[in-house]
Amino acid sequence: MLRSARQQQQAIATKRSWNLVVFSVGGLTLAARTEDVGGVTPWGEGISVPSRTPFVASLLKRDKEILPVYDLASRLHRKLRGDARLCLVARHPDGPMAIGIDPDIPTLHTLEATEIRPSRREDVNTLGSFENDGKDIDIVALRQLGKD
Amino acid sequence: MSLRGHYRASSSTDRTVSFLIVRYGTRYFALPSDGVRGVLTREEAGNGQTVVRVGKTYHEIDLAQLLSTTLDRGSVDLRTVLFANGDSCGAIRVDEVIGLVDADRDQCRPLPPHFQHEERTWIAGMILFQDKLALILNPEWALGELGEVVTAAPRVESSSGIAEPAGSDRPC
């Protein structure tokens, strides 16, 4: 479920500045805390898995590493742009998790905590949002994916 | 027919388990080899819904549908795997039989904990062989004993959902 505005404000208040990775999913610009991101790599070899877990229905093989894939694009009702998707590795309490993102290279942003405000997004848990070039960018709570 | 290959995924000899690796499209699956009763060519298996071998009747199991994929009936490597588990058995058509793989038990990895629902019963784990990833299938599920069928779901990219229970006509 969504975090309350009060919870978001508390989370925001605990940090003076935030380091964020900004990326896009199906053209939608999103952000995540750098400490929640294990890296960004080319996509690997995927294998679908019969699954009833919402948005977790495939595995990604990268060399000897096998990661579960969280289909954030489907959750957001988006379709990834282009064929050369990238893999954003989320640091998740259950272990690292691959998320397919658009092929645009993610960028790093540093924000003052005061720039972060509660998000209005309701389809995925967020830690807040901020404005960049006139656009609202939601900060996805990667550690909570699949826990809501 | 004889199997095409017999691979070892490790040099260790103790605590090994053996799997028959099969392929649908670009996806690989591992069936516990102790349940394999035979591998037949298209000509040997025929086109019927059942295969009779050594006095046993094996009804066709649509494993491809269970796995939300399709059987490539035009595959020149198409094979029928006669598979049994306890009192249940079935004839499973696959695009190709890759061969037998012996692996140490510790090479068999569980599904990541991110998979939280019934699939943990359907899929016993994962194994790497020849740099490929194969899902280890639970024989009971593969034979429809768990009474559940997974079919493609109306999702944007990938997909899984549930349909009606598997057929119960499985005399052996």
For A37-66, write each residue's pLDDT tens digit.
999 999 988 889 999 999 999 999 987 889
Work out the average pLDDT over B30-56.
93
User: Measured between CB atoms, which of A56, A64, A80 is closest to B114?
Assistant: A56
Return mean pLDDT, chain B: 82
| B7: pLDDT strictly greater than 90 | no
Helix count and strand count (H, E) for chain A: 2, 11
The upper half-sphere exposure of residue A61, i.e. CA atoms within 13 Å in the direction of its Cβ, equals: 20
Chain-chain contact of B157 with A73 (C-beta, under 8 angstroms):
yes
Q: Which two tokens stand for residue B21?
A: 């690796």
Chain-chain contact of B135 with A56 (C-beta, under 8 angstroms):
no
User: Measured between CB atoms, which of A47, A50, A92 is closest to B122?
Assistant: A50
Answer with the residue of higher pLDDT: A4 or A23.
A23
Chain-chain contact of B114 with A78 (C-beta, under 8 angstroms):
no
Report the pLDDT value the prediction gives residue B9, as an integer from 0 to 100.
Answer: 62
Report the pLDDT value the prediction gives residue B8, as an integer from 0 to 100.
Answer: 64
Chain-chain contact of B126 with A64 (C-beta, under 8 angstroms):
no
Chain A partners of B157 at a C-beta cutoff of 8 Å? 71, 73-74, 79-80
Give the pLDDT band (50/70/90) at residue B97.
very high
Answer with the residue of higher pLDDT: B165 or A4.
A4
| A106: pLDDT strictly greater than 60 | yes
Report the pLDDT value the prediction gives residue A129, as an integer from 0 to 100.
Answer: 96
Beta strands in chain B (DSSP E): 6-8, 16-24, 27-32, 36-40, 50-53, 56-61, 79-85, 88-94, 96-104, 123-129, 132-137, 150-151, 161-162
Sign of the CA dihedral B143, B25, B157, A142? positive
| B3: pLDDT strictly greater than 60 | no
Work out the average pLDDT over A82-90.
91
Chain-chain contact of B117 with A53 (C-beta, under 8 angstroms):
yes
Residue A141: closest CA among A70, A65, A52: A70
Give the pLDDT band (50/70/90) at residue B131.
confident
Work out the average pLDDT over B55-63.
93
